[in-house]
Amino acid sequence: MNKNAIKNYAVWARNQLKKDIEFKAYSYEITKDSIEDVKKLNDAVLLNGKLYSDDVYDKRNKLIERIREVGDFDQVIEEIAYTWFNRFIALRYMEVNGYLPTGVRVLSSSEEGRWEPDIVYNALTVDLPVDKKKVLEYKEKNNIEELYRYLLIIQCNELNRILPFMFEEINDYTELLLPDNLLKEGSVIRRLVSDIDEADFKEGVEIIGWLYQFYVSEKKDKVYRDLKNNIKISKETISVATQLYTPKWIVKYLVENSVGRLWIEFHPNSDLMSKWEYYVDTKEQDSKAGSTLSAIIDKNLKPEDIKILDPACGSGHMLVYAFELLYDIYLSYGYMKSEIPALIIENNLYGLDIDDRAVQLASFAVVMKAREKNRLFFRYIEKNKLNINITSFQETNIFTETGDAKKILLQGVKDKKYAESQIDNLISIFKDAKFYGSIIETNDIDLDFWHERLGFIYNQIGNMIDYDYSVLMKLKKFLPRIVKQTEILSRKYHVVVTNPPYMGLSNIDEELSNLIKKKFISKTDLYAVFLERCMKYTLKNGFIAMVTQQSWMFLSSFEKLRETILKNNTILLLSQLGPRAFEEIGGEVVQTTAFVLLNSFIESFGGAYIRLVDFNNPYDKEKAFLSGINRYYNVDQSTFKSIPGSPIAYWVSDKMREAFVKGKRLGDIADDIASGNKTANNQKYLRYIWEVNRYKIDSKWILYAKGGEYRKWYGNIDSVIDWSSDARYFYKTNKSSNLLDKKFWFKKGITYTDLTSKDFNCRILTENVLFDMSGPSIIVGDEVKRNYLLGFYNSIVNSNFLKILNSSFHVKLNDLMRVPIIYIKDINILYKINELVNQNISISKTDWDSFETSWDFEEHPFLKYRNGADTIEEAYSNWADFAEKQFYKQKANEEELNRIFIDIYGLQDELTPDVDDNDVTVRKADLVRDVKSFISYAVGCMFGRYSLDKKGLVYAGGEFDIDEYKTYKADEDGIIPITDSEYFQDDIVSKFIDFVRTVFGSNTLSQNLEFIANAIGRNDNETAADAIRRYFLNGFYKDHTSIYQKRPIYWLFTSGKEKAFNALIYIHRYDKDTLAKMRTDYLHMLINKVSSEVNRLNSLIMSDIPRDEKRKYDKLLDKLNKQLQEMGKYDELLRHYAEMGVEIDLDDGVKINYTKFSGLLANIR
């Protein structure tokens, strides 16, 4: 199946259908902004200058009524678009598989090379109730499009008899807005036929689910983009946000190990198991568990008694495969093939979902599966009808819009008080049902009462002339569906199998979130709420089969849920899938697990567990599963309770369990533990170190640990926090903030990154640093204890314990506090650990300080490790040697620490001390990066940020002293032009060449420039100076903004895309006169020079020169004229800002100050 082709088509088709339908609405004088009043003219209506029959007038009014009812034109267009999309893909599936009752293709031709659909070609003979006179008229006028439209509508209406849920009779505004030109090349229908291989539709009805998931994918993406802007998931968006199609192999695994297991348990000799590729035998149990399991088996269960529910059925993937298994079960029990499909649909399969269209497709899918098994199944439906127990949630909100609904429902009842209580209860339970879905509980609903009410309304509706007709019609349409959903919600099932919605409650509308927190013990994610509800849906001794996020297995926030499961259920089978189990979900954040629970507890039962977390894509996970590797059998779930929080740590050895008994907790060793400060407004109160005046650091601004990238031992201190009295008052009093307790201020300890995509990593916290909630900290004054903890927490031993307690990427202090710490008293080992950790801190600090974003950066490594070298190549080589030695020294130290802690915990048979190079967080030399950083250092020296005469930061605020720069002079006015040619003697390229000459001497200047140009990349036939100029013009600023986290300290003023004028300034040297100086001393000078060059070129072109040269000069002249035009506009803008005398306040940060120069500065990407 070509999923890329399916996705591309579905995404395109949604947008095209919406556009086509909106245009069709416009032709009837209905747009998003206006609905024109029109009048009938006898038996016709005039719309946009065209006469239509009067039935168009009625359909148009129905469309208007729907738009007003919904209150959203776009939503109605969306509804009609997916209605036709569903019909088109259903027709395509049926015609390709030969399931259309007429046997005639509707969307395509069975003849190679003919684009005209068979239904048009066979219009006069097709077995449909067509008006042959009308067909002949269309054909005579060669109006094939109108003929096709006519036949398509008739075919859809005919399919209503067997598939009413998919093909509602078309005589309303959906017909009115059926797009034009359906047979035109590139239409939605033509591309459906051409873009998706016919073979994909023959693979099975699964393609319908994929088409629907991809169809809504753009809407889903928008919902998640909105979440980033704090727009919560609402009732209107929750179905799209949680739509996720389950991979086929996971579906098979869940169904075979629940539905299949149900059958096998009381038919152990059945040969069906051999057909089930994903079935996992839980192996022989001990006598006690085995006898208990045998005792709970219902040996009288017949196939038609089995009840299976998918409470989040989507487009029916689980139900379709359950049908497949049930069909074989029925056959093995001796049922006739022809009777099985109807029995399965009417007796065994139940489905619920909040998405109407997905449920349409689920119903369609199971009926198609039935048709696959019985070619006469459609005749059965026509003769007997079909009771499908798959429904989408309908709301009672419509019954409260007018009092008539309740009055109608009370008609003819004897006990009005009881009837009122039933009506009020039903309305209350299903108010906003599309938000709550299957977590709804139907307490105290009397189904007998509601069946009686349904019968009464159907029999008496024609006599209720005193009531609002629209209310009667809504009751007739929706009440049966509401009663049906009540019946399904009220049942108990042998098997509940589902892939529930994944959605953190913090992302959901407050109303739903509050309801969940009130009713369920799981208060973190919707999937866990579904897990709780599924237990209630399931019969005692029934099976719950789900694929969910794995967080419930480990996180402390799910501890109560785990306690409930371990107490009341038996984990029969669990496959920990980890990240990337779904093709559509990349990255490490969403990690899943697929499991089967027995809805009763069997003591000493040995469950089967499969670990697939280390395989990087869905295909490798499936392959590993089938190979039988990484399987753990006969794991008694009672052993999980020996670990604090009872994580589902099935792979844990006895030695690791023993550590939880012997080990101390963090609180026994550390002086204190704190989660950190919280500003609740980082944009206002946090800055990067380089943004603010250096003299305000350690007064208003304090160094701040805020987590950061994966890094061990030392570093990630690149932020400062506003610690003024006003700011601290805000942190203390604002309800969303948290002021760090004073006892934690400026204390030595350990800080870590709470959210990381790699292993846990922590660093030393120095006493001049405060810390954030994203970098929680452990306060330890004693150096030996501090280094012991630091060494342990950065070890492989701790990583493995944390995987038991929390397999997510968000490590909380509570997780660390549960890790067992075996703190030994052997003085020699303590000394060894202390020495190794101190070495690692020192190595890591040296590495951190080798890059200019460090507060303690002194000079570039090419200078620091130069050792007398007079070429940059040799200086780089010296630096590379030093960095490599540091790297491998730290790696060796980390491996030695791993070895020590493995020995302390007795885990020699389970863990190895090896450290992967990718996990060593000091950097080796990198030629491109380091040469570019040398260029950046040179620019810093040009502006006076650094000086060759003094180590460290020289100027970042305060009084600028030109005498600090004797060896290499800092630029006097702090404005450095960058141009594509050498227009200025002191432009940035000239200054850089002078810098290289000053540092490494004149004798090797040419060699050094060549080395630099080759490192940063040069074009063919390009001089070193030209390559360096091109880098400054096109690459430097992009690299600078990246290194400085989109908060650059050097700002690029640029005239536009022609890059005619460009100049860098240093924000710490900016004043209100900078722009005027830039305009008069640089921009005007450049305009004059370019103008002179234009005049020179014009003279050359007018002279007698070869044609090739003339073409070359024409091209250059065109470029210069564009640059002059660009600079003229820029001059006006620069003049405007210069006259304003714009001032900046460094405390406001780069982001805010940058906006003060709109149109003057380069975009930050």
Positive or negative torsion for Cα 293, 299, 303, 308: negative
Coil, strand, or helix at residue 772?
Answer: strand
* pLDDT at residue 504 is higher than 90: no
pLDDT tens profile 1016-1065: 999 999 999 999 999 999 999 999 999 999 999 999 999 999 999 999 99
CA separation for the pair 1158, 607 (Å, rounded): 64
pLDDT tens profile 697-729: 999 999 999 999 999 999 999 999 999 999 999
> How sure is the predictor about 744, in pLDDT bands with cuts at 50, 70 and 90?
very high
Chain centre to alpha carbon of residue 1006: 51
pLDDT tens profile 265-274: 878 777 888 8
pLDDT for 194 equals: 94
The verdict on residue 567 lying in a domain is yes
pLDDT for 481 equals: 94
H helical segments located in 700-826 = 725-733, 783-793, 796-805, 813-818
The pLDDT of 800-809, averaged and rounded, is 86
pLDDT for 511 equals: 77
pLDDT for 502 equals: 87
Rg for the chain (alpha carbons), in Å? 37
The verdict on residue 897 lying in a domain is no
pLDDT for 626 equals: 95
- Lay out the sheet containing 1050-1054: strands in order across: 975-977, 1062-1066, 1050-1054
- How many angstroms separate the Cα of 735 from the Cα of each of 680, 729, 813? 9, 12, 22
The pLDDT of 611-633, averaged and rounded, is 92
CA separation for the pair 807, 558 (Å, rounded): 13
pLDDT tens profile 873-917: 999 999 999 999 999 999 999 999 999 999 999 999 999 999 999
> How sure is the predictor about 581, in pLDDT bands with cuts at 50, 70 and 90?
confident
Q: Are residues 183 and 243 in the same domain?
A: no
Q: Are residues 481 and 525 in the same domain?
A: no
Q: Are residues 95 and 143 in the same domain?
A: yes
* pLDDT at residue 295 is higher than 80: no
Give the domain-ending residue among 461, 490, 519. Answer: 490
The verdict on residue 532 lying in a domain is yes
Q: Are residues 779 and 849 in the same domain?
A: yes
CA separation for the pair 296, 265 (Å, rounded): 10
Find the CATH number of the domain harbouring 625: 3.40.50
Q: Are residues 522 and 506 in the same domain?
A: yes
Quote the DSSP letter at residue 231.
Answer: -
pLDDT for 294 equals: 67
> How sure is the predictor about 402, in pLDDT bands with cuts at 50, 70 and 90?
low
> How sure is the predictor about 736, in pLDDT bands with cuts at 50, 70 and 90?
very high
Mean pLDDT (the chain) is 92
pLDDT for 287 equals: 63
The pLDDT of 162-188, averaged and rounded, is 88
pLDDT tens profile 95-140: 999 999 999 999 999 998 888 999 999 999 999 999 999 999 999 9
The verdict on residue 1011 lying in a domain is yes
> How sure is the predictor about 291, in pLDDT bands with cuts at 50, 70 and 90?
low
Beta-bridged to residue 497, according to DSSP, are 545
Positive or negative torsion for Cα 1144, 1146, 1149, 1150: positive
Q: Are residues 96 and 14 in the same domain?
A: yes
Structural domain boundaries enclosing 34: 3-204
Q: Are residues 579 and 708 in the same domain?
A: no
> What single letter denotes the amino acid at residue 302?
K
Residue 605: phi, psi to the nearest 5? -65, 135
Instruction: Give me the DSSP letters along 302-366.
Output: -GGG--EEETT-TTSHHHHHHHHHHHHHHHHTT--GGGHHHHIIIIIEEEEES-HHHHHHHHHHH
pLDDT tens profile 48-89: 878 888 788 888 888 888 898 888 899 999 999 999 999 999
Q: Are residues 576 and 681 in the same domain?
A: no
Q: Parallel, antiparallel, or unpaired: how do β-strands 349-353 and 390-392 relate? A: parallel
In the structure, how many helices (H) and strands (E) does the chain have?
48, 23
Q: Are residues 875 and 752 in the same domain?
A: yes
CB 117 within 8 A of CB 108: yes
Q: Which of 1-10, 104-113, 399-408, 947-956 has the lowest mean pLDDT?
A: 399-408
% of the chain surpassing 90 pLDDT: 75
Give the domain-ending residue among 441, 458, 490. Answer: 490
Q: Nearest 5°: CA angle at 1011, between 1009 and 1016?
A: 95
* pLDDT at residue 564 is higher than 90: yes
pLDDT for 588 equals: 64
CA separation for the pair 713, 957 (Å, rounded): 31
The pLDDT of 624-642, averaged and rounded, is 92
Give the domain-ending residue among 474, 490, 506. Answer: 490
Higher pLDDT, 756 or 607: 607
CA separation for the pair 1011, 934 (Å, rounded): 12
169-172 contacts, C-beta under 8 A, 24 or more apart: 171/59, 172/59, 172/62, 172/63
> How sure is the predictor about 439, in pLDDT bands with cuts at 50, 70 and 90?
very high
Contacts of residue 35, Cβ cutoff 8 Å, sequence gap at least 6: 29, 64, 67
Instruction: Give me the DSSP letters along 1081-1115.
Output: IIIHHHHHHHHHHHHHHHHHHHSS--HHHHHHHHH
Q: Which tokens belong to 153?
A: 């509508």
The verdict on residue 980 lying in a domain is yes
Q: Are residues 867 and 961 in the same domain?
A: no
pLDDT for 956 equals: 96
pLDDT for 408 equals: 86
pLDDT for 97 equals: 96
CA separation for the pair 121, 109 (Å, rounded): 9
The verdict on residue 356 lying in a domain is no
The verdict on residue 758 lying in a domain is yes
Q: Which tokens belong to 1062?
A: 């460009």
Q: Which of 170-174, 486-490, 844-848, 1021-1025 has the lowest mean pLDDT?
A: 170-174
The verdict on residue 649 lying in a domain is no
Contacts of residue 164, Cβ cutoff 8 Å, sequence gap at least 6: none
pLDDT for 48 equals: 82
Q: Are residues 709 and 801 in the same domain?
A: yes
pLDDT for 537 equals: 96
CA separation for the pair 186, 192 (Å, rounded): 9
Query: H/E/C letters for each residue in 881-945?
Result: HHHHHHHHHHHHHHHHHHHHHHHHHCCCCCCCCCCCHHHCCCCCCCHHHHHHHHHHHHHHHHHCC
Quote the DSSP letter at residue 260.
Answer: I
Q: Which of 263-267, 518-522, 593-597 has the lowest mean pLDDT?
A: 518-522
CA separation for the pair 1036, 1033 (Å, rounded): 7
* pLDDT at residue 290 is higher than 80: no
CA separation for the pair 1053, 1076 (Å, rounded): 13
* pLDDT at residue 587 is higher than 70: no
Q: Parallel, antiparallel, or unpaired: how do β-strands 493-498 and 308-310 relate? A: parallel
* Count of domains forming the chain: 5
Q: Are residues 428 and 508 in the same domain?
A: no
Higher pLDDT, 413 or 876: 876
Q: Which tokens belong to 651?
A: 């792979």
The structure tokens 């005007």 sit at 1084
Coil, strand, or helix at residue 828?
Answer: helix
Higher pLDDT, 806 or 935: 935
Q: Which tokens belong to 978?
A: 């960058």
> How sure is the predictor about 371, in pLDDT bands with cuts at 50, 70 and 90?
very high
* pLDDT at residue 833 is higher than 70: yes
